[in-house]
Chain A
Amino acid sequence: MSMFDNFDFSVLAPSLPFLWSGLLFTAKLTLIAMAGGIFLGTLLALARLSAITPLALAATWYVNVMRSIPLLMVILWFFLVIPLITGQPMGAENSAILTFTAFEAAYYSEIMRAGIQSVPRGQVWAGQALGMNYRQTMSYIVLPQAFRNMLPVLLTQTIILFQDTSLVYAIGAKDLLKAAEVAGKNYNRPVEMYLFVALIYFVICFSLSRLVKHLQARIAIIR
């Protein structure tokens, strides 16, 4: 007798292609939100640190609001409001991509802000002394170092993002979790499917976090 007696894992094999398509969407959502989120997040961080007060206030406000609302509510908000503004329906998948990019930008911006502040002030002065303008100082001196210092943290945030994408369940986008749910219903074996999908998430996240740890040890700058 084992506690898995009532389980029937033979339904997993035929549902693999379906789960794979769900995983592909999850991966696509993660990668787009990561790229977009880091780009927008960097702009937000620069805005927060800028000397133009209204710009700094607006960026601070955006980041704080995003960070104090549950992600689920943000997903529901975007899904509700975007069609009202554009006047036409938007699919759950596209809505999810927009939501996660905008939401993650707030979290990435906090990381990039810490990264920018980790670069010694003297380097900015050195850039200015060489006659560089703001854009040049940032893009040739400060940001590359900030990015490198923060790379492990950015990747760790991306692993969290990867897990959070499962919340698109709330608007019915077809990600890995949704695919598992649908397959579970089709074969009338939801329990096996949830167990299997948890295993997939675990294996991916655990391996990625090991990789980040390894990377962290390798790229650390010895000062």
Chain B
Amino acid sequence: MNYHWNWGIFFEQIQGGEETYLDWLLTGFGWTVAVSISAWLIALLLGGLIGVLRTAPHRGLAFLATCHVEFYRNIPLLVQMFLWFFVVPELLPRELSLWVKQDMPAKEFVTAVLCLGLFTSARIAEQVRAGIQSLPRGQRMAGLAIGLTLPQTYRYVILPMAIRIIIPPLTSEFMNIFKNSAVAFAIGVMELTFQARQMQEDSEQGIETYLAVTLLYFICAFIANRGMAFIERRSRVPGFIVGAK
């Protein structure tokens, strides 16, 4: 293997610029975190809502929720990115379409967050539904029997348990969102993978570049994992299934 190693590359200035390559990677890291966290918030809210709707005793709502899930699960994420970036603006009314194409601030970032958030929301919805359905149906009946309305039963009886049950799969989903955010490079978000490709071409020190970027992704996954483990520990209910360890 004939490779010229240069570990100092990160501190060298980019060709024709003030920044170092390390600056590029750190900017990329910042965008990766920003895209992932923002998308995660959308995914949690929407995914929770849709997961609940899928278990609701209302045919129409449940059907709409199922459509949402099937749509986002059966199209590759990269293709969805292109749909949001190129196709959706064309479907909007003329004025709005022009604004989105020409004046919208941080267009790439907003598109990526929206796309990744909706994509992940479909996966979270499935987990929320599974969590709700894993509870004995007596709990719902008991809630209704003591005079709670259906929304109250969800709020005070079903969801507090269901959410705790699905924390482990939510943890892997949270780690996934950092990995999936890499796809945003394709529409020009300057996140880690984008910077990795750029630095590799510019500096021709591919291995050092990719090692550093891979390490940064590891750090994301590790922090996401520890953070969720912390929440899991703190939210245990003593004496209950999830607290029984």
Chain A residues in the interface with B (C-beta under 8 A):
3-4, 6-7, 68-73, 76-77, 80-81, 84-85, 87, 163-164, 166-167, 169-170, 177, 190-191, 194-195, 197-198, 201-202, 205-206, 209
Report whether A169 and B1 are in contact in the complex, using a CB–CB cutoff of 8 Å. Answer: no
Contact B78 A195 (CB under 8 A): no
Name A73's contact: one of B2, B207, B210 (CB within 8 Å): B210
Q: Residues of B with Cβ closer than 8 Å to A?
A: 1-3, 70-71, 73-80, 82-83, 86-87, 90-91, 175, 178-183, 185-186, 193, 196-197, 200, 206-207, 210, 213-214, 217-218, 221
B74 x A73 contact (CB < 8 A) = no
Q: How far is the CB of A49 from chain B (nearest CB, A)?
A: 22
Sample (17) of A-B pairs whose CB atoms are under 8 Å apart: A68-B221, A69-B179, A70-B181, A70-B193, A72-B182, A73-B182, A73-B210, A85-B1, A164-B76, A166-B78, A190-B86, A191-B90, A194-B87, A198-B83, A206-B70, A206-B74, A209-B73
| Whole-angstrom CA separation of A201 from B86 in the bound complex | 17
Task: Say yes or no: A209 contacts B74, CB within 8 Å.
Answer: yes
7 additional A-B pairs beyond A70-B193, A191-B90, A202-B75, beta carbons within 8 Å, are A68-B175, A68-B221, A69-B214, A73-B210, A76-B210, A202-B74, A205-B75
Are A76 and B196 neighbours in the complex by a CB distance under 8 Å?
yes
Overall SS of chain A's interface? helix
**Given A76-B196, A81-B207: A194 and B86 within 8 A (CB)?**
yes
Is there contact, CB below 8 Å, between B210 and A77? yes
**A80 and B207 in contact (CB under 8 A), knowing A190-B86, A194-B86?**
yes
Query: Across the interface, do B86 and A191 meet the contact criterion of CB distance under 8 Å?
Result: yes
CB distance from A104 to the nearest CB of B (A): 15
Are B78 and A169 neighbours in the complex by a CB distance under 8 Å?
yes
A205→B77 CA distance, assembly (Å): 13
Complex Cα gap A195–B200 (Å): 32
Q: How far is the CA of A106 from the CA of B76 in the complex (A)?
A: 20
Q: Which residue of chain B is the closest to A72 with respect to CB atoms?
A: B182
Nearest chain B CB to A174 CB, angstrom units? 15
Give A177 to B87 CA distance when docked, in angstroms: 15
| Residue in B71, B90, B197 whose Cβ sees the most chain A Cβ within 10 Å | B90
What chain A residues lie within 8 Å of B2 (beta carbons)? 84, 87
| Inter-subunit contact B217/A73 (CB<8 Å) | yes
Q: Is the CB of A169 within 8 A of B186?
A: yes
- Chain A residue at minimal CB-CB distance from B218: A68
Greatest chain B CB density within 10 A among A68, A84, A164, A209 is at: A68
Q: Are A73 and B196 in contact (CB under 8 A)?
A: yes
- A72-B76 in contact given A84-B1, A191-B86 (Cβ < 8 Å): no
Partner of A198, one of B79, B175, B178, B218: B79
Q: Are B75 and A73 in contact (CB under 8 A)?
A: no
